[in-house]
Structure 1
Amino acid sequence: MSFYKRGCFVFFGSSLVALSLQLFLVKNFVIDGGIIGISIILSHVTSQEVGLFLLLLNTPFFLIAYSFLGRRFLILSVFAILVLSLETYLLEPFPVLTNNTFVVIILGGIALGLGVGITIRFGGCLDGTEVLAILFSKRSPFSIGQYVLFFNIFIFGSSIFIFGLNEAVYSLATFIVAYKTIDFSIQSHL
């Protein structure tokens, strides 16, 4: 597949994640995991843009990615993060589509997981913890989604102190939907 086609899929995947974050999750205090989740927490605490933290916190992981996964992966991943950062910024003024917890968990989780999975499947990633999950999954029986879930237990636990127990449980439920969708979208023949 051409680099241009990969870039189009990565753009689409990143856009799905931005839509999920801004139109379903963030304003309902449902966080994603990984660097995105940490960025949401820091954004809430400091009132700075989520996109700023995404760029700053992901940089060391993308340097690791370059060493182990190559230049194409790095370029597609940096492109994905830039699209995600810009689109979360542009979507910030829009209200959430719903406050219904069930709908937020299901639709937000599916859009998030599909976006992450498409981005990984076509050669990039959106989050430093995904870089580690990709590297670890190559050397073990666990899937990328399972590794990402393992990494995120800590982040969801931390969110209890910032957003409350209910929101942390909703975040974990959303991520379980997302992690299943990540593995499906990576392994399926879309």
Structure 2
Amino acid sequence: MVSIIIGSALIAIGINLFAIPNHLVDGGIIGLGLISNYTLGLQPGLTVIVLNLPLYTYAWFHFRSYFYNGVHGVLASAFFIDYFHPLMSFHTPPILISAITCGLLLGTGISIMLLTKVSAGGGDLLALMLTNVIRLNVGVIIMIIDGFVILLGWVVIQETTLIYSGLMVGMTGLTIFTITQLFSTSKQLEG
């Protein structure tokens, strides 16, 4: 439970303090929630819940443990994203610093949750399910999914923001890869 709260809070702070003010697009379902916020003015957290329904329905039937662990993560993340929405009115650092900082916060928050088999959204859940089928690190799979969402967001955002969104997602994936590798290696050394 503590990992869900800490991870979700880090994700929400990164999204609201650094991504939204700079119109950065994250990957996965959160990225789709941001795109809907920029284009339609929808609440990103609520949109995340709606877009996650099909994946969680699939997980209910095929990966029940991921469903139970993930549903808490997605609800908490979506709640915190909308709850911390007022942070977007705070002073934001320049876009380069925002992209890097947001990537570190998102990657750390997602990693904290993934290490306890909890996902923050559909992209993470999909990545966890795919690691049972293909032998790739969960961070690499998340980077691939995120890349597709950013390309979709390219239609909506300015070209310069695309570069910084890519940097943010790359930083997120690198952080997830590093943290999950570090902890999986330490578990192997202990076992």
Compared CA separation, residues 63 and 26, structure 1 to 2 (3 A): same
Runs of 4+ displaced beyond 3 Å: none
**Matches for 1:32-51 after TM superposition, within 5 Å:** 32-51=26-45
- C-alpha displacement of 1:34: 0.7
2:23, 2:38 within 8 Å by CA — same for their partners in 1? no
In the alignment, is residue 98 of structure 1 matched against residue 92 of structure 2?
A: yes
**Matches for 1:104-123 after TM superposition, within 5 Å:** 104-123=98-117
Aligned to 1:26: 20
TM-score by length of 2: 0.88
The worse-fitting range, judged by mean Cα deviation, of 138-147 and 171-180 is 138-147
Aligned to 2:145: 151
Separation (CA, whole Å) in 1 of partners of 2:129 and 2:73: 18
Q: 2:75 aligns with which of 62, 72, 82?
A: 82
In the alignment, is residue 169 of structure 1 matched against residue 163 of structure 2?
A: yes
- C-alpha displacement of 1:188: 2.1
Compared CA separation, residues 83 and 9, structure 1 to 2 (3 A): same
Separation (CA, whole Å) in 1 of partners of 2:153 and 2:113: 26
Aligned to 2:121: 127
1:28, 1:99 within 8 Å by CA — same for their partners in 2? no
TM-score by length of 1: 0.89
Q: 2:54 aligns with which of 50, 53, 60?
A: 60
- C-alpha displacement of 1:55: 0.6
1:10, 1:76 within 8 Å by CA — same for their partners in 2? no
- C-alpha displacement of 1:76: 2.7
Secondary structure at the aligned position of 1:27 is classed as helix
- C-alpha displacement of 1:45: 1.3
- C-alpha displacement of 1:82: 1.7
1:106, 1:174 within 8 Å by CA — same for their partners in 2? yes
Secondary structure at the aligned position of 1:163 is classed as coil
Compared CA separation, residues 64 and 97, structure 1 to 2 (3 A): farther
In the alignment, is residue 160 of structure 1 matched against residue 161 of structure 2?
A: no
Separation (CA, whole Å) in 2 of partners of 1:99 and 1:61: 35
Compared CA separation, residues 97 and 111, structure 1 to 2 (3 A): farther
Post-superposition CA distance 1:119-144 (Å, at most 9, x none): 11112101212222112222323211
Aligned to 1:8: 2
State percent identity of aligned pairs: 22
Separation (CA, whole Å) in 1 of partners of 2:78 and 2:134: 32
